[in-house]
Chains A and B, each alone.
Chain A
Amino acid sequence: MSGAEVALIAIGVLAIVGVVLVNLAQRIDRLHRRVISSRSVLEGQLVKRAEAAAELARTDALDPASTLIVGEAAWNAAVQAPRLVSGTSDLAQTGAERGLVESELTMALRAALGDEEDLEALRGRPETAAALEGLEQACYRTQLARRFHNDAVVATQRLRQNPVVPLLRLAGRAAMPATFEMDDEVFRGTPSG
């Protein structure tokens, strides 16, 4: 085999490897964008959920103690707790903190709303029915948003396990995404069942 032939084959192999790597980088890039956008949707939904909870607390649907606890938990979630979308801080850490605060809101709502019979009573009163419906939709959408976000995260993690990815820095400087964990079941019946 002449030197020219060897060079030609080497170029061919390199080209194929190059295409494969560019492809992989594109997939990671696309997944990262899915993670970021689904996280911002989740952030927006969590805030909407907290607002819907505060809205319900304002309608005197709940007893005075529940009103106070739900109002406090909603304020914590909507204003106090760290945001999921921020440029600098460690997102895995803020995610864990935020998850705890959101779970507290879920638990407060569950306790305040009572069982199926209490819910029926709230649905029967026109002044509370709308607020309750708003909260139900916000909770359902939050479950969807969290599920879709975690799906994107898991797919990204799986792809980034490929040893070539850290070796050639195909993921750039992007931190490994983490799933967002919280108790999101305010009403019985999750999207899964």
Chain B
Amino acid sequence: MRVGLLTPYAWDVPGGVNFHIRDLAENLIARGHEVQVLAPADDERDLPPYVTSAGSTIPVNYNGSTARVSFGPIVSRSVERWLKEGAHDVVHIHEPIVPSVGLIALRAATAPVVATFHSSQQRSRAMIVANPLLQPGLERISARIAVSEAARRTVVEHLGGDAVVIPNGVDVGRFAQAAPDQRWQGTPEAPTIGFLGRIDEPRKGMQVLLGAVTAVRRVHPGARFLIAGRGDIDEALKTAGLPRDSVEYLGEISEADKLALFASLDLYVAPQTGGESFGIVLVEAMSGGAGVVASDLVAFRAVLDDGASGRIFRTGDSGDLARALLDALGNPEETARLKRYARTAVARYDWSTVAARILDVYAMVTATEPERRGLLTRIFRGRR
């Protein structure tokens, strides 16, 4: 099958949607399908062979984050060219309502369109204004996928219609087999607590985590906080009123280091305050064997099976996070029990399951014939 995948976000900026697309593409290729990805990219040199650049990016504020997206006449033309040359059996657009290449492709695609909705969000003002304009494009989607119940609810409430839920995939085996790194392994006196995510983006909850540091240190003076991700750590610490040495900043870490980090950590904290629809990082941390402490978001609760796989604290509440962390460090047996449950619970997110389900969706839309093109044929060939 010839599959065309589109992402609205710049390929060179690490992010959940693009990682998902990369893994999906590689899994489908491994199963013998032909896959092409169209993505905005400023630097075309380091793209994998299956990725085509749609053009350079422009930063816009969207869903509480700054996203780098592409639009404009040049981009529009390159989308059309890519679709034409690709001759895909199915075009799979991710985040189709983000104003970027996906939205453009929705109008131009002639193959059946599958769309995946990743984010769960409040209806933005731009979306309300644009909705009548969006509608004709949305009508071209033959199958809608939501990555979680939360994302599905967003689709149902804001766009009308329904979506099937297929979670994001994780290569569970790769995380489970990763070797720990001594630098990040904790000891009973100095347990390690980790965070991975953009530091300067408020909804990622960095400040919530920093707010709990002092309270945890009071009971466990040796506890080490390992922070990884893009952003200005000094600025974040200054805002929290903490000295520079209260956390260890690892910077942006490589994929290999991420595997080692999750295999090494005693606890992983997900302090996000909203806008998360899935929580793939939780599945990765659980697969790697770290204990998980997460904020009480609908998506996180679902991934953690309502607390059977990890501890949940009140969203945005540093005091409650400190309580949960101390509980996790103080009851190692209970923490081990949660980890054991988590290791089996992650199987449903493994790519072998997820890719098969996505292929089922493709099969259910490609059995339909592609659209006839041409204005005149459409008007004069009758409306049946």
Contacts and interface: CB of A to CB of B under 8 A. Distances in A.
Interface of A: 22-23, 25-34, 37-38, 40-41, 44-45, 137, 140-141, 143-145, 147-148, 150-152, 154-155, 158-159, 170-174, 191-193
Interface in B97-147: 136, 138-140, 142-144
A30 B371 contact: yes
A174 B384 contact: yes
5 shortest interchain CB distances as A-B pairs? A37-B368, A172-B383, A191-B164, A41-B367, A144-B364
A22 B139 CA distance: 16
Interface string B368-384: 11010000001100111
Contacts of A158: 160
Interface string B343-384: 000000000000001001101110111010000001100111
B339 interface: no
Nearest to B379: A22
Contacts of A171: 383
Given A37-B368, A172-B382, A192-B165, A148 B363 contact: no
Given A151-B144, A152-B142, A32 B364 contact: no
Given A144-B360, A148-B365, A193-B149, 8 more contacts: A22-B379, A30-B371, A38-B368, A41-B364, A44-B367, A151-B144, A158-B160, A174-B384
Contacts of B371: 30, 33
B251 to A, nearest CB: 39
Given A22-B379, A25-B379, A27-B136, A193 B165 contact: yes
B88 interface: no
Contacts of B367: 37, 40-41, 44
B293 to A, nearest CB: 25
30 contacts: A26-B379, A28-B383, A30-B371, A32-B383, A32-B384, A33-B371, A37-B367, A38-B142, A38-B368, A40-B368, A41-B365, A44-B367, A137-B360, A143-B164, A147-B162, A148-B364, A148-B365, A151-B144, A151-B161, A151-B162, A155-B160, A155-B161, A159-B139, A174-B383, A174-B384, A191-B164, A192-B162, A192-B164, A193-B149, A193-B165
Give the interface centre of A145, A148, A170, A172 by most chain B CB atoms within 10 Å.
A148
Interface residues of B, number: 30
Contact of B161 (A26, A32, A154, A170): A154
Given A148-B142, A154-B160, A173-B384, A141 B368 contact: no
Contacts of B379: 22, 25-26
A12 B166 CA distance: 49
Interface of B: 136, 138-140, 142-144, 149, 152, 160-162, 164-166, 357, 360-361, 363-365, 367-369, 371, 378-379, 382-384
Nearest to A29: B383
A159 to B, nearest CB: 7
A147 B383 contact: no
A159 B161 CA distance: 13
Contacts of B162: 147, 150-151, 192
A60 to B, nearest CB: 28
B384 A140 contact: no
A99 B149 CA distance: 27
B146 to A, nearest CB: 9
